[in-house]
Structure formats: C-alpha cells, structure tokens
Amino acid sequence: MVSRKPASRRGKPQLSIAVSACACALIFALLLTFRPRLPASEAVLDAALLWQSMMPRAALSLIAGAALGLSGFLLQRVLRNPIADASTLGIASGAQLAMSIGLSFSPLLLGLSRELIAFAGGLVAVAIVLGLSWRRSLDPVTVALSGMIVTLIASALSVTIILARGEYAMSIYIWGAGSLSQQDWSGVLSLAPRLAAGFAAAVLLLRPLQVLSLDDAGAKSLGVALHVTRLAVLLLAVWLSASVTANVGIIGFLGLAAPAIARFAGARTTRQLVIAAPLTGAALLFFTDCLTQLLGPGFTDIAPAGAATALLGGPLLLYLLPRVHSFAAVTAQTTSAIKRLRSPARVFLMLLIALALVVALVLTTAPANDGWHIASGALFSDLLPLRLPRTIVAAGAGAMLAAAGFIMQRVTGNPIASPEVLGVSTGGGAGLTVALFIFGFPPPFVMLASMAIGALVAFLIMIAIAARAQFAPERLLLAGIAIGAFSMAIVTMVLAQGDMRGYVLLTWLSGSTNRAGSFEAWTAVISLAVLAAPLPFLSRWLTILPLGGPSARSLGLPVGASRLALATIAALMTAVASFLVGPLSLTGLIAPHLARLTGFHRPGQQLAASILIGAGVLVSADWLSRVVIYPYQVPVGLFAALIGGPYLIWLLTRKEAA
C-alpha cells in the first residue's frame, strides 16, 4: 500500500489543472448569477458596470494570478527553493520602491514606462538577494533572510519617500496593497500579452527547467549552460512579477502558494507544473477576489486582493517549513573569535562615558541655516525641553530593544534572533491595527496594551514552533519571517484605507520621535526600569537555556515556566520600544552582537553592555537622522534600519568561523 501511493498520485497529473479550470468557471458563474438585479431603467448603467468594471476585473484577476503562479514556479525551480517567490525574494518591495521614487520625482516617466521602472526595481532587489546568498550556494534559509533584509530596507526607504512627499506619494502605498478595481480594459490589454509571451518563453525553456531540478554537476554534465539558463529564467520570472506589480500592486505570496497547491493536487513533472501553476494561481486570485466581493463592498475596502492573499502567506510558510532543508544554516557564529575581558568594569566605565558624551553631543550640538552651533546658557535652557524628551525616548527604546534581543537570543539559542527578525515587532503592529479597528483612535495606554498582547502572542507562537523543531536555526528564522509577513498583511489592510488610521500606522512604521514629549519620555524610563529590574535575578535561566531543553531540565530548570516568563518580558519591552520608535530599527539584533564582540562573556555582563550599547546606538541614530539632510529629518526608526541592515548583510555574508 505504501509503495502504491506515490504512483497513484503521479497517475493523476491533470487533477490540479481540472480543479483549477472548474473552480474558475464555477466561481465566475456564481458571481454573475447572484449579482443583485436592478430595475429596467438602470439596465444601461448595469451593462456598463458589468462590461467596464466587473468583466475587466475578473479577467485581470485571472491573468495576474496566472502570471504570478508561473513566476513563482520559475523562481522555485531555478533556485531549488520551495519558499521562493516575489514576496520572499524582495522583488515586490523593490518594484514598489522604484515606483515610489518614480512617482515622487518624475511622474511623467512613471506614466510612460511604469513596467520598466518596476522591472528595474525588482531586478536590483533579486540581484542583491542572490549576491548575499551566493557564498552560501543559494541556501534556502539564507535566501529567505536576504529577501527579508532587502524587503525591510526597501520598505524603510519607501516610507521615507512617502512621508517626505506627503499625500502625493501616499497613493503608492494605497495602490501597493494590491487592488484589482478596474474602470476599463486597459489593464487586461497591457498584462495579457506579457503573460502570453512569458508562457511561450517558459515552454521553450522546458528542457533546461527539467535539468535545473538536478544538482549543478548533473546539469552541467547534460550540456546546460547553467549560469546563462539561470539568468534567463530569473529575468523571465522577475519580468512577470514586476509587470503584475506595476499594473495592480503587490499581490502577496500568490507565487508561493500556486506551485505548492499545484504539487499537492497532483502535478509533478516540469511540463505539468508549467501548466498547473499558472492555472492554480489564476483560480486562487480569482477565488479570493470573488470572495471579497461577495462578502460586500465594505470588506473589499478593508481587505484588497493583495492584502487578502498576503494573509495566506504566513500560514503557508509555516506549512512548508518541514520541506525546507538548509545545508548552511545561518547561526552567526561569533563566539570563537571573542576574547574574554580581563577587566570588564573598565570597559563598562568606557561605555558609560561614551554614552554620556553622545547624550551631551545630542543635547548641545546641531546645525542651523548659518552653520553648526553649540547651545549653551540661555539657549541650552530653551532647547532642553525640546531635545531632552526625544533623547530619553531614543535611549530608553534602544535599551529595551537591546535587552529584548539579548533575551530572545538566549531563549532560542540563536545569535541572529531579534524582535525584528522574529516578527515580534510586527506582531505588536498587528495588535495596534486591531486596536485601531475596534476603538478608532484609542488612547496611548490602549495602544500600548494592544501592542504588548500582539508581540507576546507572536513570540509565544515562535517559541512553540521552534520547540517542535528542537530550536533548529533555519526553522526558527523562517517561522519569524512567516509571522512577520502575516502581521504586516494585517497592517497593510489599514494602510490601504488611506484615512487617518493609516497615517497613524505609517507614522508608527517610520518610528518618528518628532512628537516625543513628557508622556513618551516617562513611558520609556518607567518601562525600562520595571522590565529590566527582574533580569539580574534571572541570570541562571539566561545561562542555562541556550544549552537546550533536555540539558536545562537535567539541571533542574523549569523550562516551560522560564521561557514563558522571559518571553513575556521580551515581548513587553518590544511592544513599548516599537510604540516609541517603530518596528524597523534592528537595534535588538546589533546591540547584543556588539556587546559580544566587545568581549563580554557572562550573560549578566552581556545584558548590561547590550543595554548601554543599544541606548547609544539609537540616540546616535536619532541625532544623525536630524542632521544628515538638514533642515529635513529622517525618522529615527527608518534611519536605524538603514544602519542595521548593512550589519545584518555583513553577518550573512561573512565566512563561518572555523
């Protein structure tokens, strides 16, 4: 019986094709049948609505879904990576960034060749991802992490441009949620020839695609020009996904879902998948769009097609985790090159002096229209009420993110874990989004509470997933990407509205400290004092937990209770810090690493050093964000992400320690 199962599934290769075609026809018939009937006097208007809006929308959903399904299959085949698609490789965010730049600085150019601009942005993004992953032989986990980094940096730059250009560029973010609304057939006429050309090219590449399923040595032995073939397939896949992004916005994770569902339904060979993946993608997007329309226009406004499909991305990534086998798991081994400090007290004193000097510089020095000035006397007293709260907020948030990152690294035993990488920060954003849905414009206390709940739920899910996989680094990091993607899809649903709630979330994403006052400053000070106070008494837990569950239990440690307590502290720190400076800073990753590289070995020493370094890093980033393009300001969260992103890139590309 066991030996017959694979054969029976291979014997039904057309199942996914038939299911896809039947689903498309059935849903389209239902949509037309159950449309509300209008009086005869409105028949003309009804016909115009049908042929100029509903029919183009239905056709475009089929074409866009097919293009994304084909693009996802091509990316997965050429990279031998079951979780590759335009979302996980940063192609969609790169295209969005390119179009944001085009719309902000040259609207005429964007109107003439938006597909070309989107293609250039997506191509640059995937080139960066492949460049970062090349030294690890395109390891699936490294590719996914590199895609997350590129997406993070591209999103930070996009939000910066939107905030700088105001409502003129806000339409890009609304459009980026992936709306299929149409007023004519221009979108269909633009995208259909591209899909036809892409499918024809994929058919011509059938034999190379079959050979690419082998390893590199096997492909070369069969006479395939490996690099040229990979480049051709990558260009085709990026072109298809960028064309969809340019026409309808970002349709999240559809390219990931379509090939996976096609394989599950019975498609196995390359020829079958080339046909089944586009049909499955078309059926999936068509079904999602029809479902949102049948639920009512209000639901369509709340969850555009792109945001609705993005909600599938997180759970689907979690489902595919067991199928991802990493042969170069990213663990960021840095401890072998670290020398222990002989006098840690002296280094602590140096860190304190450095932090004090940074704070003094921030409070006294700033540029003006006639050059740089050092405030003193009466001028210093006048500026202090403006500068001091902002500095305290940045220092407190940096310290809490550093402490949270250190705790996560110890609990999971993974030195690359952090609130940003594991999706805990965006989990707090999902909690904030739910609060905005329920309360409209909630008071700050409710916002903090909702973010704390969202961050805690995200981290507990993370620990549960990691525990089932014995805290394997690749499963942990990919689960973080999945939870972050799901949480950001929830945030995007509100951003797509374009109302004041979306502006609240956009400001939160940027992490601006411009409006920091006494409430935010006291929140940072009190939260840091209360949440960091128990940590010195938990140093034994922080020392033993990285050894793993069995070892910790053998030493008498209550593993479940200790992880829950530390997770609660880390989640609360992340929520408060993200409320103050946004989710993008990466301070929670780099501060513990810098403390470790400085030479601190014991957990208590590393924690204290991480707190000082995190405070200094974010205070410095806040000051630099004000002076680097004076008189304009870059939000501190985005600026810190642009600093932390290259560090994470270096961490991924450095050679493994011997």
* Digit-coded pLDDT (tens) for 569-618: 998 999 898 888 877 677 888 888 888 888 787 888 889 999 999 999 88
For residue range 366-383, list pLDDT tens digits in order. 887 777 878 888 888 888
The pLDDT assigned to 614 comes to: 92
Are 517 and 388 a contacting pair, CB within 8 Å? no
Percent of the chain surpassing pLDDT 70: 74
Report the sign of the C-alpha dihedral through residues 352, 353, 359, 363, in that order: positive
pLDDT of 567 higher than 90:
no
The pLDDT assigned to 86 comes to: 83
Ranges 87-96, 170-179, 528-537: which has the least confidence: 170-179
* Among 152, 139, 149, residue whose Cα is nearest residue 656: 139
pLDDT of 488 higher than 70:
yes
Which comes out higher in pLDDT, residue 613 or 552?
613
Helical residues (DSSP H) of 205-269, grouped into ranges:
206-212, 216-221, 226-248, 254-265
Which comes out higher in pLDDT, residue 447 or 510?
447
Are 68 and 242 a contacting pair, CB within 8 Å? no
Q: How many other CB atoms sit within 10 Å of the CB of residue 325? A: 11
| Mean per-residue pLDDT, 335-346 | 60
pTM of the predicted model as reported, rounded to 2 decimal places: 0.76
Distance CA 255, CA 76 (A): 9
Using DSSP, state whether 334 is helix, strand or coil. coil
> If you average pLDDT over every residue of the chain, what do you get?
77
Most confident by average pLDDT, 171-175, 284-288, 530-534, 620-624: 530-534
Report the sign of the C-alpha dihedral through residues 53, 56, 62, 63, in that order: negative
Q: Specify the amino acid at residue 562.
A: S
Q: Specify the amino acid at residue 388.
A: L
Read off the DSSP letter of residue 374. Answer: E
Which comes out higher in pLDDT, residue 221 or 456?
456
The pLDDT assigned to 222 comes to: 66
The pLDDT assigned to 432 comes to: 87
Ranges 20-34, 306-320, 510-524, 534-548: which has the least confidence: 20-34
Which structure tokens are listed for 583?
Answer: 């989710």
Return the bridge partners of 371, or none.
Answer: 368
| pLDDT band per the 50, 70, 90 thresholds, residue 329 | very low
The pLDDT assigned to 112 comes to: 57
Which comes out higher in pLDDT, residue 234 or 497?
234
* Among 521, 501, 505, residue whose Cα is nearest residue 513: 521
Are 405 and 464 a contacting pair, CB within 8 Å? no
Q: What is the Cβ-side half-sphere exposure of residue 335, based on CA atoms within 13 angstroms? A: 11
| pLDDT band per the 50, 70, 90 thresholds, residue 396 | very high
| Mean per-residue pLDDT, 540-569 | 85
* Among 209, 282, 293, 205, residue whose Cα is nearest residue 244: 282
For residue range 177-196, list pLDDT tens digits in order. 566 777 778 878 888 999 99
Question: Does the N-terminal peptide bond of residue 631 adopt cis geometry, omega within 30 degrees of 0?
Answer: yes
* Among 28, 49, 176, 206, residue whose Cα is nearest residue 100: 176
State how beta strands 365-368 and 371-374 pair: antiparallel
Distance CA 644, CA 649 (A): 9
pLDDT of 470 higher than 60:
yes
The pLDDT assigned to 327 comes to: 45
φ and ψ at 372, to 5 degrees?
A: -80, 145
pLDDT of 1 higher than 80:
no
Beta strands in 29-183 (DSSP E): none
pLDDT of 419 higher than 80:
yes
| Mean per-residue pLDDT, 627-649 | 72
Distance CA 88, CA 73 (A): 13
pLDDT of 40 higher than 60:
no
| Mean per-residue pLDDT, 296-304 | 51
Which comes out higher in pLDDT, residue 226 or 330?
226
Ranges 125-134, 298-307, 339-348: which has the least confidence: 298-307
Which comes out higher in pLDDT, residue 359 or 497?
359
The pLDDT assigned to 527 comes to: 93
Largest alpha-carbon pair distance within the chain? 90
| pLDDT band per the 50, 70, 90 thresholds, residue 491 | confident
Distance CA 430, CA 615 (A): 26
Q: How many other CB atoms sit within 10 Å of the CB of residue 227? A: 9
pLDDT of 392 higher than 90:
yes
CA 598 to chain centre: 30
Percent of the chain surpassing pLDDT 90: 10
Q: Specify the amino acid at residue 221.
A: S
Most confident by average pLDDT, 284-288, 304-308, 527-531, 602-606: 527-531
For tokens 């957990």, the residue is 603
Using DSSP, state whether 602 is helix, strand or coil. coil
The pLDDT assigned to 4 comes to: 43
| pLDDT band per the 50, 70, 90 thresholds, residue 462 | confident
pLDDT of 270 higher than 80:
yes
The pLDDT assigned to 5 comes to: 43
Distance CA 649, CA 417 (A): 14
pLDDT of 308 higher than 70:
no
pLDDT of 427 higher than 80:
yes
* Among 47, 49, 83, 355, residue whose Cα is nearest residue 181: 49
Distance CA 591, CA 596 (A): 9
Distance CA 322, CA 167 (A): 43
The pLDDT assigned to 406 comes to: 93
The pLDDT assigned to 25 comes to: 53
pLDDT of 32 higher than 60:
no
Return the bridge partners of 367, or none.
Answer: 372
The pLDDT assigned to 332 comes to: 45
Ranges 35-49, 205-219, 617-631: which has the least confidence: 35-49
Are 66 and 73 a contacting pair, CB within 8 Å? no
| pLDDT band per the 50, 70, 90 thresholds, residue 20 | low
pLDDT of 411 higher than 70:
yes
* Among 500, 16, 459, residue whose Cα is nearest residue 258: 16
The pLDDT assigned to 10 comes to: 44
pLDDT of 415 higher than 80:
no
